[in-house]
Amino acid sequence: MDKLDSFHHDVLRGLNDHPKWLLPKYFYDDNGAALFKRIMDMPAYYLTDCELEIFRDKTAELADTLCAQQEPFDLIELGAGDAMKSSFLLKHLVREQVDFTYMPIDICGEVLHTLRDRLHGDLPDLTVVPLHGEYHEMLREATEQSDRRKIILFLGSNIGNMELEDAHGFCRTVNRRLKVGDTMLIGFDLQKNPHTILEAYNDKEGITKAFNLNLLERINRELDGDFNINAFQHYQTYDPIDGGCRSYLVSLTDQEVNIGAEVICLAANEPISVEISRKYTPLEIDQMAIETGFAPLTQIADSKNWFVDAIWHVN
Ligand SMILES: C[S@@+](CC[C@H](N)C(=O)[O-])C[C@H]1O[C@@H](n2cnc3c(N)ncnc32)[C@H](O)[C@@H]1O
């Protein structure tokens, strides 16, 4: 199935289900990537600042923990985006003349082009091999390209965008691709004051709303849809018991939407689930490592203790 067919297939599967859902990986067309950049710049969206602080202020600790074996490796970043945080690590490793290749993976081609050009200018000595596509498919390609040691980065609490069971499945799949001695670093957003969490996803300026609605606009643009964007409302929840922070688009009226030849019926107040951003406890993170075949090594936190980068080994 080509990319457009998969998008079409996943959209119809989700919108014909009950309750309705859309997959968050489709947020990131060029418009979505630009809107996400604006979200990351919002003061209320603390996640970026916390993880940026870890990469900026604890670069040497990260590098020493990740590269303890001192052998050449491939540094593979899943969903690299603009690599704003990992750039601190890249600069440090280049400065220390460490022998490694940087392989950013991203589903958005435009993002990868921009990143490659920027790194070429900023770090001309760095070898960059961009891989355009889905996490697992591109990770397979990366592991087939060389048998050097692998260090995987999965930042930005992207793991939080999966249901718990799917996050475990994701880590198990990555683990199967790796070998003894390989390492994985994952960014996790921690459970904290519920108001702080809710405000990060419910900004008054409406950038998160625009980001979520862009998914419907993308369906209109790419799949011949006719969503009336004004007939949907952004609705955000956070459950401090299970750590689930969820985004919905709620239909404001009874309506029919055409997607190509298909007709989707929505009732007034019917929600479409578009994203989960799960928040974890440190204990749940270690448990996830153990249950998915890794050995938890350490968790490096920001100064507020709001976010951790967990480092796991393959033994
Ligand atoms: C939330 S951004 C995070 C960017 C960066 N890792 C950071 O922490 O700042 C997520 C990135 O992952 C990419 N992405 C989302 N789903 C993906 C998938 N299934 N496969 C590959 N890349 C994906 C998006 O295009 C986007 O650039």
Residue 184 CB less than 6 A away from ligand 1: no
How far does the centroid of ligand 1 lie from the alpha carbon of residue 127, in Å?
Answer: 21
What is the residue-averaged pLDDT of the chain?
96
Q: Residue 157 — pLDDT band, cuts 50, 70, 90?
A: very high
How far apart, in Å, are the Cα atoms of 136 and each of 75, 110, 152, 182?
15, 20, 12, 16
Q: What are the domain boundaries of the chain?
A: 46-192+280-313
How far does the centroid of ligand 1 lie from the alpha carbon of residue 261, in Å?
Answer: 31
| Cα Rg of the chain, angstroms | 20
The pLDDT value given to residue 267: 98
Residue 189 CB less than 6 A away from ligand 1: no
The pLDDT value given to residue 25: 87
Question: What is the pLDDT averaged over residues 290-306?
Answer: 98
How far does the centroid of ligand 1 lie from the alpha carbon of residue 95, in Å?
Answer: 27
For residue 233, the cross-strand partners are 250
Rounded CA separation 95/39 (Å): 31
The pLDDT value given to residue 291: 97
Q: Residue 134 — pLDDT band, cuts 50, 70, 90?
A: very high
Rounded CA separation 52/156 (Å): 9
The pLDDT value given to residue 68: 81
Q: What is the pLDDT of residues 219-229, one digit of tens each?
A: 999 999 999 99
Question: What is the pLDDT averaged over residues 203-217?
Answer: 95
Count other C-beta atoms under 10 Å from residue 210's C-beta.
Answer: 18
Q: Which atom of ligand 1 lies at the shortest distance from residue 106's CA?
A: 22
Residues 6+ apart with CB under 8 A from 64: none
User: Per CATH, which fold does 46-192+280-313 belong to?
Assistant: Rossmann fold (3.40.50)
Q: What is the pLDDT of residues 104-117, one digit of tens each?
A: 999 989 999 999 99
Q: What is the pLDDT of residues 215-274, one digit of tens each?
A: 999 999 999 999 999 999 999 999 999 999 999 999 999 999 999 999 999 999 999 999
Q: Residue 70 — pLDDT band, cuts 50, 70, 90?
A: confident
The pLDDT value given to residue 306: 98
**Among protein residues, the one whose CA lies closest to atom 2 of ligand 1:** 81
Question: Sheet of 244-251: strands edge to edge?
Answer: 20-21, 271-276, 244-251, 232-239
Residues 6+ apart with CB under 8 A from 43: none
Residue 85 CB less than 6 A away from ligand 1: yes
Rounded CA separation 50/53 (Å): 5
How far does the centroid of ligand 1 lie from the alpha carbon of residue 35, in Å?
Answer: 13
Q: What is the pLDDT of residues 163-197, one digit of tens each?
A: 999 999 999 999 999 999 999 999 999 999 999 99
| Residue to mutate, 31, 90, 102, 108, ligand 1, most ligand atoms under 8 Å from C-beta | 108
The pLDDT value given to residue 189: 98
Residue 81 CB less than 6 A away from ligand 1: yes
How far does the centroid of ligand 1 lie from the alpha carbon of residue 68, in Å?
Answer: 27
Residue 23 CB less than 6 A away from ligand 1: no
Residue 156 CB less than 6 A away from ligand 1: yes
How far does the centroid of ligand 1 lie from the alpha carbon of residue 67, in Å?
Answer: 24
Q: What is the pLDDT of residues 4-30, one digit of tens each?
A: 789 999 999 999 999 999 999 899 899
Q: Which atom of ligand 1 lies at the shortest distance from residue 40's CA?
A: 9
pLDDT more than 70, % of the chain: 100
The pLDDT value given to residue 3: 76
pLDDT more than 90, % of the chain: 94
* pLDDT exceeds cutoff 90 at 213: yes
How far does the centroid of ligand 1 lie from the alpha carbon of residue 253, in Å?
Answer: 33
